[in-house]
Amino acid sequence: MTCSIFSKYKIGNLTLDNRIVMAPMTRGFADNETGEVNYLIADYYGKRARYGAGLIITEGVAINKLAKGTYGIPGIYTHRQILSWKKVTREVHQYKTKIFAQLWHVGRVSHQEILKGNAPVAPSPIGANGHVHRLRKPFQAPRALNNMEIYQIIADYKDAAKNAMEAGFDGVEIHAAHGYLIDQFINEKTNDRQDEFGGSLQNRLRFLDLIIKEVKKVVPKNRISIRISEKKDDDKDYVWEHPEEMVCAITGILSKHQLKIVHPSAENYGDMLQHNQKSLHELFRQYWDKTLIAVGNIAPEKGASIIGGNQADLVAFGQLFIANPDLVVRLKANQEIFPYQTKNLHTCLI
> What is the tens place of the pLDDT at every residue in 46-67?
999 999 999 999 999 999 999 9
Q: Classify domain 9-333 by CATH architecture.
A: Alpha-Beta Barrel (3.20)
The CA–CA distances, whole Å, from 236 to 179, 229, 319 equal 10, 12, 20
Domains of the chain, by residue range, sit at 9-333
Q: Which residues are catalytic?
A: 180
CA atoms of 214 and 207, how far apart (whole Å): 11
Strands 291-294 and 14-16, by their bridges, are: unpaired
Helix (H) or strand (E) holding 156: helix 147-166
With a threshold of 0.85, does the pTM exceed it? yes
pLDDT of residue 133: 86
Determine the longest span between alpha carbons in the chain, in angstroms.
57
Query: Residue 335 has what DSSP assignment?
Result: -
Torsion angle of the four alpha carbons 302, 315, 59, 147, in this order, in degrees rounded to the nearest 10: -120
Q: What would the pLDDT profile of 74-114 be if each residue is shown by its tens digit?
A: 999 999 999 999 999 999 999 999 999 999 999 999 999 99
| Dihedral, CA of residue 148, residue 154, residue 160 and residue 162, to nearest 10 | -110
Contact 224, 258 (CB under 8 A): no
Say if residues 337 and 331 touch (Cβ distance below 8 Å). Answer: yes
CA 104: distance to chain centroid?
8
Cα 329–332–333 angle (5° rounding)? 85
Q: Specify whether the backbone of 177 is left (phi greater than 0), alpha (psi in -120 to 50) or beta.
A: beta
| Strand-pair category, 9-11 with 14-16 | antiparallel
Beta carbons of 60 and 263 less than 8 angstroms apart: no
Contact 42, 91 (CB under 8 A): yes
- The one-digit pLDDT tens for each residue of the chain (350 residues) are 568 999 999 999 999 999 999 999 999 999 999 999 999 999 999 999 999 999 999 999 999 999 999 999 999 999 999 999 999 999 999 999 999 999 999 999 999 999 999 999 999 999 999 999 888 899 999 999 999 999 999 999 999 999 999 999 999 999 999 999 999 999 999 999 999 999 999 999 999 999 999 999 999 999 999 999 999 999 999 999 999 999 999 999 999 999 999 999 999 999 999 999 999 999 999 999 999 999 999 999 999 999 999 999 999 999 999 999 999 999 999 999 999 987 544 444 55
* Distance (Å, whole) CA 256 – CA 109: 30
- Rounded Cα distance, 262 and 254, in Å: 8
Residues contacting 193, CB < 8 A, separation 6+: 123, 124, 144, 199, 203
By three-state DSSP, how is residue 272 classified?
strand
